[in-house]
Amino acid sequence: MLTFILAFRNLMGSGKRTWLNVSVLSLAFVVIIFYNGLLEGWNVQARTDTMAWETGNGRLSHPLFDQFDPFTLADSHGKTDEGLLTLLGKDASPVLITQATAYPNGRLFNVLLKGIDTRQTLLSVPVRLMDSLASAGEGGVIPAVIGDRMAKAAKLKAGDMMVVRWRDANGTFDAREVMIAEVFRTNVPSVDVSQVWIPLEYLREMTSMYGEATYITLSKEGVAKLNGAADDKLPASGELYKGWRYEDEDALMHEIDTVIKAKKGSSTVISMLLLCIALLAIFDTQILSIFRRQKEIGTYIALGMTRLKVVGIFTIEGTIHSVLAIALGTLWGMPLLKWIQHTGIPMPSNTDQAGLAIADKIVPVYSAGMLLATVLLVVISSLVVSYIPARKISKMKPTEALKGKLV
């Protein structure tokens, strides 16, 4: 305790030098939290949106289905288990996918035709209008919904017609007109770019894949229902369940997690650079302190302090910089970070071309774990850079320190 009191007194006595170091370190502290919060916010938003629009909380995929390889689509479809779908009810949504060519306004687009149950409520893809148009049986026209990226690329709008050509299960080409019932806005490019959503029953009929699907999306409750079943519980992710490959949330979010991890890497470099500048200031101050305060060190020892205790005083003096920086950073950074959280960070309109779910605005998320980790990082790193120069004191001769001779 004495060491803390003495270190704090010395630090306060140093005045402006202390506050300069504390200010730089507090800036680093706030920026690290901001960067991490931004990435965490993006992560949360990307995961939430991807789950809402595309993956749900789990998926039973055809074993041959590979979402990154369109050539697998021809074979990756199979009959759905009606008993299973009945059990799951609204907690499951089968999707059938086939490759197709669309001809909007005389242009040619390779697209994925995705059949979705028009009564599903699990995914956010808007199906209500398709459902009413399909029920009305509008002259054999296929109602479709597309995302605004697809609409923009193909210059389509609601009410427009386009021809779509596909191959059925037997390899026979066929073509029909599709009417754009609705253009939706989503943050998830993988349900938008080059995708045309039509009613599942239509696609099954068009491809002669009656009662079939490429994958079945599961809600959280759906996963819980299957896990809670007395027998035939869901296996580990990647293993087969009733002939379908089960993928859990983590497996489905793997790509997002990887990208976020890579982004975190680059943001860590920036944060660390800033932290290093702040720590360098503390390191320099410590070196200067020990150099200038040799007589003081000698006096401490002459008055009966052990060298180890003097090392402790100087180490804690340096470390208190970080404690003050955290306090100062909380003082000015907290309102700023809160305000940013309230307003969000607007993202440029073409950011989502990267193929990842990015909202118009990213709202930073500051979790308790992240805050604690940042606090620990700042405190521990300042403790280390304070200790390294302070170690020299233990090798100092008190008689020479009292004379103020060089270390």
Partner 1 sequence: MENNKIVLLEGVCKRFPAGKTEFTALSNISLSFGKGEFAGLVGPSGSGKTTLLNIIGSLDTPSEGTADVLGKRINLLSHKEAAQLRNYGIGFIFQTYNLLPVYSVYDNVEFALLLQKMSSEARKKAVMEALEWVGLTEKVKSRPSMLSGGECQRVAIARAIVKKPQLVLADEPSANLDSKNSHHIVQTMKRINKELGTTFIFSTHDEKVMQYLDRIIYLKDGMVDKDETVNK
Judging by DSSP bridges, how do beta strands 173-184 and 142-147 pair with one another?
parallel
Stretch that binds partner 1, among 222-230, 348-356, 361-369, 397-405 (CB under 8 A): 397-405
**Residue written as tokens 């804690």?**
316
In angstroms, rounded to a whole number, what is the distance separating the alpha carbons of residues 313 and 294? 13
Q: Minimum Å distance from CB 250 to partner 1?
A: 55
In angstroms, rounded to a whole number, what is the distance separating the alpha carbons of residues 19 and 11? 9
Q: Does 216 bind partner 1 (CB under 8 A)?
A: no
Considering the complex, state which of residue 342 and residue 395 has its C-beta at the smaller distance from partner 1.
395
Q: Minimum Å distance from CB 303 to partner 1?
A: 5
404 sits in the region (left: phi over 0; alpha: psi -120 to 50; else beta) called left
Strand, helix or coil for residue 161: strand
Nearest to 88 by CA among 114, 120, 118: 120
**Residue written as tokens 């005389």?**
106
Pick from 7, 10, 33, 146 the residue near partner 1 by CB under 8 A: 10
DSSP 52: I
Stretch that binds partner 1, among 217-225, 296-304, 352-360, 380-388 (CB under 8 A): 296-304
Q: Minimum Å distance from CB 300 to partner 1?
A: 8
Interaction residues for partner 1, span 12-41 (CB under 8 A): 12-14
Pick from 179, 278, 301, 396 the residue near partner 1 by CB under 8 A: 301
Q: Does 277 bind partner 1 (CB under 8 A)?
A: no
Q: Minimum Å distance from CB 396 to partner 1?
A: 11
Residues in a beta bridge with 251: none
Q: Does 361 bind partner 1 (CB under 8 A)?
A: no
139 sits in the region (left: phi over 0; alpha: psi -120 to 50; else beta) called left
Q: Minimum Å distance from CB 315 to partner 1?
A: 17
Q: Minimum Å distance from CB 370 to partner 1?
A: 37
Q: What angle do CA 130, 193, 136 make, to 5 degrees?
A: 10
Considering the complex, state which of residue 13 and residue 137 has its C-beta at the smaller distance from partner 1.
13
Q: Does 368 bind partner 1 (CB under 8 A)?
A: no
Number of residues engaging partner 1 in binding (CB under 8 A): 24
Tokens of 374: 């940042």
Stretch that binds partner 1, among 174-182, 213-221, 274-282, 293-301 (CB under 8 A): 293-301
Q: Does 305 bind partner 1 (CB under 8 A)?
A: yes
The stretches of 90-176 forming alpha helices (DSSP H) are 128-136, 148-154
The stretches of 253-367 forming alpha helices (DSSP H) are 254-292, 294-302, 307-343
- Residues near partner 1 (CB under 8 A): 2, 5-6, 9-10, 12-14, 295-296, 298-299, 301-308, 397-399, 402
